[in-house]
A and B are shown apart, each in its own frame.
Chain A
Amino acid sequence: MTAVSTSVESTPDAAALPNRMQRVDAWCEKWGDRLNPILVKETRQALKSRQFVLTFSFLLFAALGWTIIGSLSLMPRIYDTPSAPRMLIGYYFVLALPMLLVVPLAAYRSLEGEIDDGTLELLSITTLSPWQIVLGKLASAMLQMMLYFIALFPCVAYAYTLRGVDFPTTVLLIGMLILSGIMLTIVALFHAPLCETRGGRIVTLLSVIGILVLAEWCLGAVAVEMIHYGFDFSLELIFGLVGSAVLICIALGHLLLTVTAAQLTPISENRSTKIRVSLLMVTAVTVSLSSVWAMRSVDDGTSAGFIVAGGVALLMIWTFAGSMLVAESPVITPRVQRELPMSFLARAAFTWLTPGPATGLVFTVLNILLVASFLVIGIAWLDTSSVSMPPSFRSMFIQFVFGYAAYLTCFLVSVYVLMRLIRLTNQPRVEVGFAALAVVAVFTALLPYAIELYLSDFRTYQYSLWQSTNWAWTLYEILDSNDLSGSITVIGFVGASGLFFVLFFNPQLVWPRRIATPKRVLEEHGESGK
């Protein structure tokens, strides 16, 4: 009787439970629909994969093993002595292996597998964009990292309860590990679509493994130092360092992801504009951070170092990127032409972001001049501040920076012409532009050197105007405090003339015209809400 009455009394709750569960289920499904499909698929795959099971098992057993072995080795004075660093170092290496090696490599293999198995083609005819594909892979990798971290979190907490490690060090260590894991995954994803041939794939895989192992080793060394010596910095400095590292990682990560997505994008679509915007973002972040750190460290005399480091990094990035931008195909598809800016102001500002070698050349030269100006203004500002510099340093530095910019402009114009000639009979990849730049740079340096060496009967000779095209010797002479402003001006004039030549003779490439989108296409996009 009692049992029956209990059953009757519990009926409303029993009925409500499935309803509640159904609502939760519907809510989960609704939110699940908003997730990136690649993330859903990759997670399903990863959780069932042998690699995940093995890695997760390894993580748990290694953590358990180290907890037992490490604790026993520190007994009986584990709570009296600073034993946390030793335990934390062990846990760091247990966690670093999957986060810095296994997960990035799995992300690389996953994207490479999509290309090899032909599933990328199937994905590219769905409504997923290449960005979504790449972000889905990254999100899946991050999810796996989170799972590994959560699994090891109790061990980290246990180490923190021991003596010898403070809270900021532990947080920074974990932050560094997570940020490095994400960046390495982005680097690995960037490498996946680089090569199409089997040989190329093997080289790429070896490069990725090399980068990951090197990063594992370097970050391990930094982590050990951090744990042993802690952070004896002010809170402001720590926040500054963390903020700078995060900003640089976001800018560089965005650039690498954009390039990866561009490699997966069909050639009829605009692959260049997003890369150019991303490059601008990297430039802005680097210039801002260099300026902020230079201004902050005027008193301790390291300001010039920040400005020079930021400027040199940007010049290297722009040299590399510029050589590929001027190697882009001059054919602009109607699809891209439909999206060109329309008003005069928009065209003046944004035409340089549209794909094409001529716009790429102008865009690169403008940015190189921007970086050169930043360097020169920065050094001039330091010179007028309390920072002590040798008297001739400013003049030498200005000559060097503008000399580099002038040479690069000349070389990029040459690469532009060379690539246009190559494109008459071939359809080379943009990477050929960098090879062309290297060829031009080597020839312009070696040819005058070899000719003059021959004319002087293979005896040593002094720098002369005949060596003006020899960029290596000219820049070396400038660094050796010789005034070569005349040569630099001539080279700058030649570069500017080449640029003018390109602008004048290719108006349709430099200033492409927008075309109308067919009415039916607009209607269709309107119906689909795009």
Chain B
Amino acid sequence: MTKNKSGRKIGGREYLETQSDEPVNAMPKPELDSSTKLAVAGEQVPEASSGWDRGNVPPVHVGSDDCIEMRRLFRFFGKTKAVEDVSFSVKRGHVFGYIGPNGAGKTTSMRILATLDLPSYGDSFIDGFSCVNDPELVRRRLGFMPDSFGTYRDVNCKEYLDFFARAFGLSGAERNARLRWVLGFTGTEGMADKPIRGLSKGMKQRLCLGRALIHDPSVLILDEPAAGLDPRARIDLRQMIRNLADQGKTVLISSHILTELSEMCDSVGIIEQGKLLATGSVEEMQQQQVQQRELRIRILDRAKEAAAAIETRPEISTLVVDGDLLRFEFTGEMELQAELIGFLVEKGFLVAECTSHKKSLEDVFLQVTEGLVQ
């Protein structure tokens, strides 16, 4: 796991050179990796001073495997820093979980990716195209599902999807084929002729996912799609998202339900107060936490004496004696754990059971964040 303060991960791709004069609102220059290559001026006409407050961030990059990228993204609302220096990237076909408490800046950064808002500084890219400079190219590749439904009165499900298919420029047989596919994929065929207003929340979510998928985007941005759903609907949604990822679609999903995310995401990012605190794969996150885990040792006699014997050891903290059970936080490798058990046996305590509780994503989240909101 990477504790992310400046949080950049740029490298191994080509950028078009920019010749930027002093921007209107100067921002700290991003420190490009040595592997970042600049195209030879003359092959591409260099961009002149933009005056636009993106700082020196190159407008387009090519040849990347990253389908979604945020690069030093800032968004201020007055004095409130909704998003502060957030950088991460998501590889093609991956599901990225965006975790954070309410008001952490998840929705704001997702809206910037969806070309609905502009960053104060920095830029974000979908498939290499700037969300600021080339929004129409980004929109063709993007399916966005906001946290609100955004439905119409006096329209049924099929008409609703048909309208958005038309709005994305689909016509004739292609539109009908996409409509059939979306209705089938989201399991809303039976609801096709029912008015939207009468649908349950779960069905509305399915319909909204269908709307985001109607133009066959390569990238999906889902803002808390599982909020308010019952367990079965959540499982269905999880399966749908995994299916989409298997089809090669890149998914950025935010949620409060961390167990859901840990099961469907390839990698996650934890954000709080606008800052990206940690990014990495779920495995990496959990492995990092293996160094500190909860141990439970059952001692059949003299549990309190056993506790007194080990509580001074540096790798042990917050030790609790619960009847014949010792519970404590343990920091160290497995060898150290074996040595601890050997020590207790050697001292003559009757060790009946030892269990190690691996940290969940929820534990990681609680450990990384401080419960602060904007």
Residues of A in contact with B (beta carbons under 8 Å apart): 29-30, 33, 37-38, 40-41, 44-45, 48-49, 113, 117-119, 121-128, 266-269, 330-335, 337-338, 508, 512-516, 518-521, 524-525, 528
Contacts and interface: CB of A to CB of B under 8 A. Distances in A.
A283 to B, nearest CB: 30
Nearest to A47: B154
A119 B211 CA distance: 12
Contact of A122 (B24, B118, B166, B211): B211
B50 A334 contact: yes
Contact of B50 (A29, A33, A125, A515): A515
A126 B144 CA distance: 10
B338 interface: no
Interface size class of B (residues with CB under 8 A): 35 or more
28 contacts: A44-B155, A45-B154, A48-B155, A113-B153, A117-B151, A117-B152, A118-B146, A118-B150, A119-B151, A121-B116, A122-B211, A125-B116, A127-B140, A266-B135, A268-B118, A330-B24, A333-B133, A335-B134, A337-B48, A337-B52, A515-B47, A515-B48, A516-B45, A518-B44, A519-B16, A524-B129, A524-B137, A528-B140
A188 B52 CA distance: 34
B216 to A, nearest CB: 13
Interface stretch (B1-9, B83-91, B168-176): B168-176
B60 A337 contact: no
A520 B60 contact: yes
A334 B139 contact: no
Given A331-B51, A334-B52, A513-B48, A40 B133 contact: no
Contact of A519 (B44, B154, B168, B175): B44
A331 B60 contact: no
A268 to B, nearest CB: 6
Between B44, B52, B166, B169, the greatest number of chain A beta carbons within 10 A of the residue's beta carbon is seen for B166
A119 B150 contact: yes
B257 to A, nearest CB: 23
Interface string B152-172: 111100010001101111011
B51 A122 contact: no
Contacts of A121: 116, 146, 150
B136 interface: yes
> Which 8 residue pairs are nearest across A and B when measured between Cβ atoms?
A516-B45, A37-B166, A126-B167, A33-B171, A518-B60, A48-B154, A41-B163, A118-B150
B333 to A, nearest CB: 48
B142 interface: yes
Contacts of B243: none
Given A518-B16, A518-B44, A518-B59, A117 B150 contact: yes
A331 B52 CA distance: 6
Contact of B53 (A119, A124, A127, A331): A331
Contacts of B172: 29-30, 33
A122 B150 contact: yes
A520 B167 contact: no
Contacts of B49: 508, 513, 515
A123 B44 contact: no
A521 B129 contact: yes
A479 B60 CA distance: 61
Interface string B199-219: 000000000000100010000
Contacts of B16: 518-519
Given A33-B172, A119-B150, A330-B51, 12 more contacts: A45-B155, A122-B211, A123-B167, A126-B168, A126-B215, A266-B115, A266-B118, A332-B52, A333-B132, A512-B51, A515-B47, A528-B140
Nearest to A36: B166
B132 A268 contact: yes
B44 A44 contact: no
B46 interface: yes
Contacts of B142: 125
Contacts of A513: 48-49
Nearest to B166: A37
Nearest to B128: A520
Given A331-B24, A334-B50, A521-B60, A119 B152 contact: yes
A333 B168 contact: no
Given A37-B163, A516-B46, A337 B128 contact: no
A520 B62 CA distance: 8
B45 A41 contact: no
Nearest to A48: B154
Interface in B35-51: 44-51
- B interface, over-half SS: loop
Contacts of B367: none
B114 interface: yes
A194 to B, nearest CB: 20
B159 A44 contact: yes
B318 interface: no
Contact of B153 (A29, A45, A335, A524): A45
A113 B140 CA distance: 25
A128 B167 contact: yes
A118 B148 CA distance: 7
Nearest to A336: B52
A528 B135 CA distance: 14
Contacts of A37: 163, 166-167
Nearest to A530: B136
Contacts of B133: 268, 333-335, 338, 521
Interface string B48-66: 1111111000011010000
B221 to A, nearest CB: 10
Interface string B256-283: 0000000000000000000000000000
Given A40-B166, A266-B115, A127 B59 contact: no
Contacts of B169: 127
Given A45-B154, A515-B47, A518-B16, A335 B132 contact: yes
A245 to B, nearest CB: 35
A111 B146 CA distance: 20
Contacts of B166: 33, 37, 40-41
A41 B154 contact: no
B51 A337 contact: yes
B42 to A, nearest CB: 12
A354 B308 CA distance: 78
A336 to B, nearest CB: 9
A123 B160 CA distance: 12
Nearest to A425: B78
Given A37-B167, A127-B167, A516-B47, A333 B139 contact: no
Contacts of A518: 16, 44, 47, 59-60
Contacts of B132: 268, 333-335
A529 B144 CA distance: 25
Contacts of B48: 337, 513-516
Contacts of B45: 516
Which of A49, A514, A520, A525 has the most B CB atoms < 10 Å from its CB?
A520
A12 B152 CA distance: 45
Central interface residue in A30, A269, A515, by most chain B CB within 10 Å:
A515
Contacts of B153: 45, 49, 113
Contacts of B167: 37-38, 123, 126-128
B116 to A, nearest CB: 5
A266 B135 CA distance: 10
